Amino acid sequence: MTLRVLSIASEAVPLIKTGGLADVAGALPDAVAPHGVAMTTILPGYPAVTKALGKAKAIHQWDSLLGEPARLLAGKLGSHPLLVVDSPNLFARDGGPYADLAGRDWGDNWRRFAAFGRAAADVAGGAVKGLGFDLAHAHDWQAAMAPAYMRFAPAGTAIPSVMTIHNMAFQGYYGADIFALLGLPSWAWAIDGVEYHGGVGFLKAGLESASAITTVSPTYAREIRDPAFGMGLEGLIATKGDRVHGIVNGIDPAVWNPETDQHLLQTYSWRSLARRAANKRALEREFHLEQGDGPLFVCVTRLTWQKGIDVLLEVIDHLVGLGGRLALLGAGDPAMEAGLHAAAARHPGRVALRIGYDEALSHRMQGGGDAILVPSRFEPCGLTQLYGLAYGCVPVVAHTGGLADTVVDANLAAINGQAATGVTFHGVTYPSFADAITRTIALYGQRDVWTQMQRTGMKTDFSWKRSGQAYAALYRQLAGAE
Ligand code: ADP
C-alpha cells in the first residue's frame, strides 16, 4: 500500500535554502519513494517559491489564516507534488525566509509560521477535497505548530505526525500575549501543550503534539536529553523515551562525488587516490600556501561558538609547529574572523583563509585537502565530515552528535580491522583538540594506514538510500500500515 505523507517545511532545495533543513526536505521525497511513500511537500509562498511555480492553480483558499487571506497553490518539487501557502501579506517580502535584507528577523515571524502551521494542519486534516494523507511530517520550529493545530483541531486530526529537530538551538519562543491570537482552544495553554516557561514555544508545542520525534543522528537524539544539549527541552525529550529516533542525513551523490565533481581539477575514486595530488597543489596555489608534502588541513564552516572556532584559533600554532598547514573557508563572528586573520599573519604561507560563502571552493577543498577539521561543540548531524569521508579528506572531529555516529576513530583496533575513517576527540578543549592534531599528523606519516582510512571512508555509503528507508519504516509503523 502506498503511504501518502505531507512533508511540512519552511525551506526545500532547489527552491529556497538557508541551511541543512532545505537539503533534507528537498531530498526526502526521492529518498522515500522507493519504499512505497508518496510525499507531497508544503512550503510558504516566499517570492522565490511562487516565482518558480509560475501560473499555478489555486486548489483551496482561506478567508482568514490568522487574519490574512491565503490560497493554496499546487505545483512540483522536482517530480513530486508541491503545495504552496500563498499569502502575500505574510510571505511575499524581499529578504530571507526569516529575516529582512539587513538580516533582522521579521517581527511577525510567530504569525507567519503559526499561519503556515495552521494551513498545513488543515491540509493534513482533509480540508482540500480530493487530497488525503496518512501522515504529516513537520520540520523544525517553523513547521512545529502544524502538529499542534492538528491535535487541537475541533474534531482532532486522526492521522499521526512526526516532528523532526534539525537543531535544538532554534525553538521559536514568543511571549504569552500571542496565545490569544493563535486561534487555539484555551486548554492548549498547558504544560503538555503550547505553554513554555510562561510563553509560547513553537518547537515545544510540536514535540508535545507529534506522535513521534526524530532528530538527525542517534547520538544527538541521546544528547538532547541532557541539559548541555537540550536547550531547556531536555526534560520533555527524556519523557518521550523510545518515541525519539535518530536518523542520519544522507548526502546527494549527484552533487558530492569525487568521480564526477566538475569543480575539481582532477576527479578520482578510492582506486586512484594518487590523482588527488594535483588538486592539493592547486589548492595550495589558490590559497598562496607553501607547496609541500606535509599535511594540508582544511576547514569549511560557519564561524560560530557551536563550531568550536574559538578553540581552533588556539590550536593553530600547535598545528603549524608540527609541520601542518591550514586553509579555511568560512564566515560569521567578526571576532573569530579577526582571530583567523591574525593567525594567517603570524604564519604566512602556512595558514590562509577566505572569508565568505563559496560552494565551488568548498568542493575544491574537500577534493584537495588531506584532513578536514570539525571541532563542533554540538552537531545534530553535520555534512562537512560526510563530504570529507566521500572525498578522502580525512575528518578530524569532536565526538558529538552526528560526528560521533559517522566517523570511526583511528584507534589501534579500528586501524587493524581496517574500520578507521578519521580521528575523533572528546571535549572541545585545547588539550584534546591539540592531541587529535598530533595524532592526525602521526597517522598521515604512516602512508599505508592513511590510505586505508581514506579508502574505508570513501567506500562507506552515506547516500540518502539508508535514511530514506529508515524514515519510510517509521512512517509505516506510525500509520499502522504493512
Ligand atoms: P550547519 O548546517 O550547522 O552549518 P553542516 O555541516 O550540517 O553545518 O552543513 C554546512 C553546509 O554548509 C555544508 O554543506 C558546508 O559545505 C556548507 N558551508 C558552510 N560554510 C560554508 C562556506 N563558507 N562556504 C561554502 N560552503 C559552506
What's the CA-to-centroid distance between 372 and ligand 1, angstroms? 13
Model confidence at 103, pLDDT cuts 50, 70, 90, reads confident
pLDDT value at position 248? 94
Average pLDDT over the chain reads: 95
pLDDT above 70: percentage of residues in the chain: 99
What's the CA-to-centroid distance between 44 and ligand 1, angstroms? 24
What's the rounded mean pLDDT across residues 371-384?
96
Q: Is any ligand 1 atom within 6 A of the Cβ of residue 382?
A: yes
pLDDT value at position 241? 83
Q: Is any ligand 1 atom within 6 A of the Cβ of residue 301?
A: yes
**CA nearest ligand 1 atom 9, residue:** 383
pLDDT digits (tens, 9 = 90+) for 24-51: 999 999 999 999 999 999 999 999 999 9
Q: If DSSP codes are grouped into helix, strand and coil, which group holds residue 246?
A: strand
pLDDT value at position 155? 78
Q: Is the dihedral of CA 301, 306, 309, 312 positive or negative?
A: negative
What's the CA-to-centroid distance between 182 and ligand 1, angstroms? 35
Model confidence at 255, pLDDT cuts 50, 70, 90, reads confident
What gap in Å lies between CA 471 and CA 401, rounded to an integer?
A: 19
Mutate to test the pocket of ligand 1, among 170, 362, 397 (most ligand atoms within 8 A of CB): 362
pLDDT digits (tens, 9 = 90+) for 257-302: 999 999 999 999 999 999 999 999 999 999 999 998 899 999 999 9
Q: Is any ligand 1 atom within 6 A of the Cβ of residue 311?
A: no
pLDDT value at position 305? 95
The pairing of beta strand 351-355 with beta strand 212-215: unpaired
Query: Between these two residues, 242 and 194, which has the higher pLDDT value?
Result: 194
What's the rounded mean pLDDT across residues 252-258?
89
The answer, as to whether pTM is greater than 0.85, is yes
Model confidence at 482, pLDDT cuts 50, 70, 90, reads low
Mutate to test the pocket of ligand 1, among 170, 252, 301 (most ligand atoms within 8 A of CB): 301
| pLDDT(349) > 80 | yes
Model confidence at 237, pLDDT cuts 50, 70, 90, reads very high
What gap in Å lies between CA 389 and CA 256, rounded to an integer?
A: 11
| pLDDT(212) > 70 | yes
Judged by average pLDDT, the poorest of 176-180, 254-258, 277-281 is 254-258
| pLDDT(164) > 80 | yes
pLDDT value at position 83? 98
The DSSP code sequence of 139-195 is EHHHHTHHHHHHHHSTT---S-EEEEES-TT---EE-GGGGGGTT--GGGSSTTTTE
What's the rounded mean pLDDT across residues 99-120?
95
The pairing of beta strand 68-77 with beta strand 57-65: antiparallel
Maximum CA extent, the chain:
69
Instruction: List strand residue ranges (DSSP E) for 17-174, in order.
Output: 37-44, 57-65, 68-77, 80-86, 135-139, 161-165, 173-174
What's the CA-to-centroid distance between 174 and ligand 1, angstroms? 28
Give the amino acid at 367: G
pLDDT value at position 18? 85
Q: If DSSP codes are grouped into helix, strand and coil, which group holds residue 470?
A: helix
Q: What is the dihedral of CA 283, 288, 292, 297, to 10 degrees?
A: -60
What's the CA-to-centroid distance between 43 and ligand 1, angstroms? 22
pLDDT value at position 252? 83
What's the rounded mean pLDDT across residues 103-129?
96
